Chain A
Amino acid sequence: MLHTFVALVEDKPGVLTRVASLFRRLNVNITSLTVGNTERESISRMTIVADAAEDRAHRIMASLYKLENVLEVDDVGRQSAVVRELALLKVVCTPQTRADLFQLAEVFHARIVDLAPESLMLEITGSASKIEGLVQILVQSNHKILEMARTGRMAMRRGHHTSRVVEALSDATPRTESALAGKPKLVALDLIAQEDHA
């Protein structure tokens, strides 16, 4: 079965190797792995989806905790959680097929983020099954998918739940204005440009 773990880890070089190496050592295949920043300086968040027997979740979690850089692990597959994935799909698009693709995009709440004479790019966010649904209908409607990129799952528990471990760590300072002080400031124009590209 697929397990979904959220691991809060120190943002240091080599941490990804340690986590990946652990799954290799346990002979467990990683289906998807998403890493990014969190609300705290120096802490990264990994969402790891792994295919393993149901009773192995405890061992995987306990083994993750043995890594010094891992602060907290949550088995969100067993909790009520919001699980999302983002995919970009580049599809062949001629003037004849454009209308159909626009309709499909609307039904799936996908956005068209690039339009070229012979192709378009769809951005879709949602559960894995929703993305797979769009892919399936594209294929069945004889639309040629030129490229697909998927982020893998990201997950967050519903409700007020947050990490008690991270709260207990004194050195994990929340992101504040001062924490960002040393970083190059983004001018308003950049922000708008980023929004445009999004």
Chain B
Amino acid sequence: MSNSAKNGSDNMNSSDPAMTSQPTRLTGAETLWATLVGEGVRDVFGYPGGAILPAYDALRKFPIRHILVRHEQGAAHMADGYARASGRVGVAIATSGPGATNLVTGIANAMLDSIPIVCVTGQVSSKVLGTDAFQEVDITGITLPVTKHNYLVSRTEDIAPALREAFRVAQSGRPGPVLVDITKDAQQNSAIFDFEAAAPAPYRPHPMLRADSTSIREALELLRAAKRPVILAGHGILHSRALEQVRTLAERAQIPVACTLLGLTAFPASHPLNLGMMGMHGESWVNTAIQQADVLIACGMRFDDRVTGALTTYAPNAKKIHIEIDPAEINKNVRVDVALIGDLKEVLETLLPLLPERNSSPWLNAISAMKGDASVRDIQHLPDNGHLYSAHVMHDLWRETNGDAIVVTDVGQHQMWEAQYYKHDRPRSLITSGGLGTMGFALPAAIGAKVACPDKEVWVVAGDGGFQMTSAELSTIAQENLNINIAIINNGYLGMVRQWQEFFYDKNYQSTPLLSPDFVKLAAAHGIRGAHVRKRGEVVSTVQEARSHEGAFLIDFHVEQEDSVYPMIPSGAALHEMIRRPSENPLVETASEA
């Protein structure tokens, strides 16, 4: 806002809030920002360069905060983290050529996890398009399979309509990333900007969306007759903002809830009906409950291979109800009996008034028996044998932050340990790369989350491998003076790969031992405080120090090197055929044998 005041004398007067309410002649660059302002954008993540320079030149006239990233992949991940933390569209800006191609991993990550982001890239002038001009790359061609939609804009008057449509496409239906590639001359030329006139046409009807009374009745019949029902809670609950409805469904019909990784924060961890995370690293009772279920109600989840195990043996006795907004997900992996295709919240609001209360206590008791004493066992009270296990770190971090922090995890073992031991009660409090499994995601995504939610405590939890993929963004944290705490789970290996080598490749640890810099010194080089933790007893005090410190803080947790994530379903095995925790491990199996 101060920028606009400073430039009050500017004859363009583009920061006038009335600009979006009446048609004005603007350059394409100004149109870009004015449209973003009109769409409610306050923060963008980007990196300037030749083909996007006209846009950067006009930025100072607009009330938009620009966060300079260190690599464009970071910009896409930040926009992604921003969107996940806030539910608003994240925006990333890059120049043509390498700037644009560097975005691709971040865009693919947002695509696989259905995250609404809009990426704006500069493009060479329309006169030289297709001539292999300097820093020219066909980014709409490259990103075609990893965006929901993309646009190549070569005329100034098309900028606002393309951007406005991009925002709608990103957020509508099943959300996803959209890229808008704007040529340099389109940014430089001018045209009449009319925000209202640039609004997209009404959305086309989708004939495959179907949640009619017949299907609703079939679903209700299945639910009424169910003896062993389980709700499968997915990411779609957050997208559809259907948390209340899913909770009502679970409580009224007394149905236990199993969560996908991205659905973990869609249902409170402390809720008595919450079983926990399902799938490859889900606890045994969760997966066993799914395998024994007679009715599964899938809410905004897509039966990903990481949650089903072998498809031929998946929940063989269960009738499946699938509530899903994307018709392409119906019967993709798992054949379902009733498909309710539409917005989850709307479908549940139709279904819930017709759903009678029911009692499911024999089934709930049976699941509790499977848990054994696990739910009451507190790993914090296990004797300290001198070893620092990652699970300790997650548990203590959860306790110290009261489960209130936004935790942004990278990909690998630490990601699974976090999912197992940090109990999330608040929606959107876990941000993690699920579908693409993008190492290097955590640090930039946390920056996005912190910018979106400056009042929230934000923790990065990353492995020593993934952290180094994007650790240059420490500079961004320093430059933007962001109060982000960083926990590196340092085991000297690419841990999850090492675990697979241990289990499935005869412990041939090929290329997984990893030399890392002294992360505390690396932080110090950026003016960020840090500390090493090597003992269990130091975890709590160091976490407390990080939390009370004004500004970013990095903790390098030197954990047990060859620890593995249990339980684990080897890929291709049935959901209940899991590798259990070895009994000699101090963090023994947290459930009795099922």
Contacts and interface: CB of A to CB of B under 8 A. Distances in A.
Interface of A: 14, 17-18, 21, 25, 55, 58-59, 61-63, 65-68, 71-72, 164-165, 168-171
Contacts of B225: none
A63 B152 CA distance: 22
A62 B328 contact: yes
B163 to A, nearest CB: 14
A63 B327 CA distance: 8
A21 B144 contact: yes
A62 B205 contact: no
Contacts of A55: 331
Nearest to B332: A59
Contacts of A21: 144-145
B328 A164 contact: no
B169 A68 contact: yes
A58 B326 CA distance: 12
Interface string B124-157: 0000000000000000110011001100100000
B144 A65 contact: no
Contact of B140 (A14, A25, A62, A171): A14
B202 A164 contact: no
B206 A170 contact: no
Contacts of A63: 328
A192 to B, nearest CB: 39
Contacts of A169: 201-202, 204
B68 to A, nearest CB: 31
B208 interface: yes
Given A14-B140, A21-B144, A62 B204 contact: no
Given A63-B328, A68-B169, A165-B207, 18 more contacts: A14-B140, A17-B141, A18-B144, A25-B145, A55-B331, A58-B330, A59-B328, A61-B208, A61-B327, A62-B326, A62-B328, A65-B327, A65-B328, A66-B148, A67-B149, A68-B148, A165-B204, A169-B204
A18 B149 CA distance: 9
Interface string B179-207: 00000000000000000000001101111
How big is the B interface, by class? Answer: 20 to 34
Contacts of B208: 61-62, 65
A18 B141 CA distance: 9
A168 B206 CA distance: 11
A66 B328 contact: yes
Contact of A58 (B169, B201, B204, B331): B331
A196 B479 CA distance: 74
14 contacts: A14-B152, A17-B144, A21-B145, A25-B145, A55-B331, A58-B330, A59-B332, A61-B208, A62-B328, A65-B206, A67-B149, A71-B204, A164-B205, A169-B204
A68 B149 contact: yes
A171 B144 CA distance: 25
Contact of B326 (A66, A168, A170): A66
Contacts of B331: 55, 58-59
A9 B205 CA distance: 14
A66 B149 CA distance: 9
Nearest to A66: B328
B186 to A, nearest CB: 15
Interface in B311-338: 326-328, 330-332
Given A21-B145, A59-B328, A170 B204 contact: no
Given A21-B144, A68-B148, A68-B149, A168 B330 contact: no
Interface in B189-242: 201-202, 204-208
Contacts of A61: 208, 327
Contacts of A165: 204-205, 207
B204 A168 contact: yes
Given A68-B148, A68-B169, A170-B201, A62 B207 contact: no
Contacts of B327: 58, 61-62, 65
A62 B322 CA distance: 16
A95 to B, nearest CB: 51
Contacts of B206: 65
A192 B153 CA distance: 40
Of all A-B residue pairs in the complex, the 10 with the closest CB atoms, nearest first, are: A62-B328, A62-B327, A68-B149, A63-B328, A171-B201, A168-B205, A165-B205, A21-B144, A25-B145, A71-B204
Contacts of A72: 207
Nearest to B327: A62
Contacts of A14: 140, 152
A68 to B, nearest CB: 4
Contacts of A164: 205, 207
A83 B3 CA distance: 63
A58 B327 CA distance: 8
A17 B138 CA distance: 13
A60 to B, nearest CB: 9
Contacts of B141: 17
B332 to A, nearest CB: 6
